[in-house]
Homo-oligomer: A and B are copies of this chain.
Amino acid sequence: MLLSGGLDSYTAAAVAIRDGFSVAALSINYGQRHVRELEAARAVARSLHAARHLVLDLDLTRMGGSALTSRAIDVPKDQPLDPEVIPPTYVPARNTIFLSLALGWAEVLGASDIFIGVNALDYSGYPDCRPEFIAAFEQMARLATKAGVEGRPVTIHTPLVRLSKADIIRLGLSLDLDYGLTHSCYDPFPDGSPCARCDSCRLRAAGFAAAGAADPLLQPRR
């Protein structure tokens, strides 16, 4: 299970557990501006009683090319989401890289199921969140590994891909998830609190509003 520390992968992992899977969680410290999300990933993995949690270092700032991996590129704030434009927070080939790492670890563990919390409805237009990408990755994976060629191909599960953000939140709340553990903001304040102005914060806020729920992250601190 790819676990970012965000709301979506937490919910996808909870679905996997609901469906009877034992979860090995993989998080990547890729130099993301919002490294705070890794603390959230650790809290989420603990809360889900994940059997394993591997946090792997892979410094994608050496490549740059995204607002999340290069300080030279600003995170857009207060801009309407245009479904026709892929925003500068897109990280080149990120999900391909992460799924490849998950594919390798799955083979080592003898696992045939990979869960990823991609969503192609209330999202930022990233190409590697779409079902057609996932299907092509799965196809490629069957040819890529020893397990695949020996008849134990991997299945990529995307339980959220067709859900709205509000549906995801409703699903998670029905599974008693504590979204106060998660982190979504691309460009948090130094204390880790969300900016409330980036695409990720705004998609999250709109989702909670549409679900008729309060975001525990935005409640007064106890």
For residue A90, CB closer than 8 A to chain B, the reply is yes
* Copies of the chain in the assembly: 2
For residue A82, CB closer than 8 A to chain B, the reply is no
Contacting residues of chain A (94-111) with chain B, CB-CB under 8 angstroms: 94-97, 99-101, 103-105, 107-108
Q: Do most interface residues of chain A lie in helix, strand or loop, or is the interface mixed?
A: helix
Chain B proximity mask over A129-164: 1 for CB below 8 Å, otherwise 0 = 010110011011111111111000000000000000
The contact of A146 among B92, B104, B147, B148, by CB within 8 Å, is B92
The contact of A63 among B105, B139, B142, B146, by CB within 8 Å, is B105
| Docked CA distance A101–B96 (Å) | 8
Q: Which of A95, A133, A140 has the most CB of B within 10 A?
A: A140
Tell which of A1-9, A52-60, A175-183, A210-218 binds the partner: A52-60
| Docked CA distance A107–B128 (Å) | 14
The contact of A139 among B92, B96, B139, by CB within 8 Å, is B139
Size of the chain A interface, CB-CB below 8 angstroms: 45
User: Which chain B residue lies CB-closest to A60?
Assistant: B104
Contact in complex: B127, A136 (CB < 8 Å) = no
Contact in complex: A139, B141 (CB < 8 Å) = no
Given contacts A56-B59, A96-B104, A108-B92, contact A144 B133 (CB under 8 A): yes
Contact in complex: B100, A97 (CB < 8 Å) = yes
Given contacts A58-B58, A59-B56, contact A127 B140 (CB under 8 A): no
The contact of A108 among B59, B65, B99, B139, by CB within 8 Å, is B65
A87 to B: closest C-beta gap in Å: 10
Residue pairs across A and B with Cβ atoms less than 8 A apart, 13 shown, are A57-B58, A63-B105, A92-B104, A94-B104, A96-B104, A96-B140, A96-B144, A97-B101, A127-B143, A127-B149, A128-B144, A137-B144, A139-B139
- 19 other contacts beyond A57-B58, A128-B143, with CB at 8 A cut-off? A54-B62, A63-B108, A65-B104, A65-B108, A92-B107, A93-B100, A93-B101, A93-B103, A93-B107, A97-B104, A99-B100, A127-B144, A128-B145, A133-B140, A133-B143, A133-B144, A136-B144, A139-B140, A140-B140
